[in-house]
Amino acid sequence: PSYIIIGAGILGASTAYHLTNEGEDVLLIDRNDPGQATNAAAGIICPWLTNRYNKAWYKLVEAGAKYYPKLVAQLKANGESTTGYHQVGAINVFDTDEKLDRKMEVALKRQASTPEMGEVTRLSKVETKKLFPPLKDVYGAVHISGAARVNGAELRDALIRGGKAKGLEFLNGDASLEVDDSKVTGVTVSGRSYRAEKVIVTGGVWSRQLLESVGLNFLVKPQKAQIVHLQMPDTDTSKWPIVLPPYQQYMLTFGNGKIVVGATQEDDVGLDNRITMSGVFEIFEKALKVAPGLASATYVDTKVGFRPFTPGHLPIIGQVPGYDGLYVANGLGASGLTSGPYLGKELARFVMNQSVSINIKDYDVANAFG
């Protein structure tokens, strides 16, 4: 192939999809590591209420959310009806009028230049509880109609299927890099060699080991996340909005009474993918404080995923310094389902030497090598 992509989370899948859509010859390889971020992710696409003021980061998540409807329409037009994406809106809930006023102001200001946010509405306590009945009755909310949920695994699979329809080759296996001097010539999987002009590494937190094997010190760090799946019997939760409570916790529903609450943010535990008592306890405790009505829900499962963070918590994308033919994108952190499909499109354009809309210098790969 002309291109080999290592890692088929949301980023690699999107890159492969966009490259094959341009008629390129692509081999996508994935090892299906336990803890793949895309598999465990919650799926909130609502970047506009953030308190984080890093411009380069915000540009990516904003463009990412904007790109979704277009990508989903394109997939549907090509027969991919299961994309896992639904615009169900989000409510940012607050227990005082003062906090609500402040957030309304921020939201309205952003909405002026961001039509994809849809309607911004202030909701009373009664209106808020009506939209998400398990909530405690003390919250008013800022409602954003353009917010969406996405099932990361479903979208990833739709992108891979869409790519395959255009000739994408997919291989399940453990890839290592083949290097000749400072030129990357291809990869090895299960003792077999595959040659390519360009190799793209989108291996999430596992990219560190892969790049280490050719002597590179790649500074991606895993942040472990545990996330709880619940089930509300006999309840149609399919259209409930995403709930963004005041602290780092959230809840969102899928069809068939499924509710997802999370997630922990555990630094410095490496790639330990166990479900722990303290992790689940923290999630339950915070969720029940905000939504006591969840107490009677069925506990189904806890998933574990590793958010890939690069220095400064800023994504990186580009060619690896000192290595011909080697490209890397990483660091999608806690917002990669939002930015990933868009960044994959940009990465595909970049490796094809086409013009890109992002300023590559803002996401300089050199920052991620020690």
Residue 285 CB, nearest approach to ligand FAD (Å): 17
* Residues 46 and 65: beta-carbon distance below 8 Å: yes
Question: Rounded distance, CA 312 to CA 306, Å?
Answer: 17
Report residue 180 as tokens. 């000749």
Residue 296 CB, nearest approach to ligand FAD (Å): 24
Residue (36 or 92) nearer to ligand FAD, CB: 36
Residue 306 CB, nearest approach to ligand FAD (Å): 6
Question: Rounded distance, CA 90 to CA 145, Å?
Answer: 7
* Residues 310 and 367: beta-carbon distance below 8 Å: yes
Residue (75 or 200) nearer to ligand FAD, CB: 200
Residue (89 or 152) nearer to ligand FAD, CB: 152
Q: Check whether the bond before 348 is cis (ω within 30° of 0).
A: no
Residue 101 CB, nearest approach to ligand FAD (Å): 26
Residue 126 CB, nearest approach to ligand FAD (Å): 28
Residue with nearest beta carbon to ligand FAD: 336
Residue (205 or 291) nearer to ligand FAD, CB: 205
Residue (107 or 201) nearer to ligand FAD, CB: 201
How far apart, in Å, are the Cα atoms of 369 and each of 8, 207, 350? 22, 12, 20
DSSP string, 320-356: PTT-BTEEEEE--GGGHHHHHHHHHHHHHHHHTT---
Site residues (vs ligand FAD, CB under 6 A)? 6-12, 29-33, 36-38, 40-44, 152, 174-175, 202-204, 206, 210, 225, 227, 262-263, 305, 307-308, 332-338, 340
Residue 54 CB, nearest approach to ligand FAD (Å): 15
How far apart, in Å, are the Cα atoms of 149 and each of 171, 175, 265? 29, 32, 20
* Residues 363 and 56: beta-carbon distance below 8 Å: yes
Question: Rounded distance, CA 160 to CA 188, Å?
Answer: 21
Residue (104 or 337) nearer to ligand FAD, CB: 337
3-state helix, strand, coil in the chain (%, to 5): 40, 30, 35
Cα-flanking dihedrals φ and ψ of residue 92, to 5°? Answer: -100, 110
DSSP string, 241-262: PEEE-SSS-EEEE-STTEEEEE
Residue 64 CB, nearest approach to ligand FAD (Å): 8
Residue (127 or 362) nearer to ligand FAD, CB: 362
Residue (40 or 141) nearer to ligand FAD, CB: 40
Residue 61 CB, nearest approach to ligand FAD (Å): 7
Cα-flanking dihedrals φ and ψ of residue 29, to 5°? Answer: -120, 135
Residue 338 CB, nearest approach to ligand FAD (Å): 3
Residue (107 or 316) nearer to ligand FAD, CB: 316
Alpha helices for 31-187 (secondary structure H): 37-40, 55-77, 97-113, 125-131, 152-164
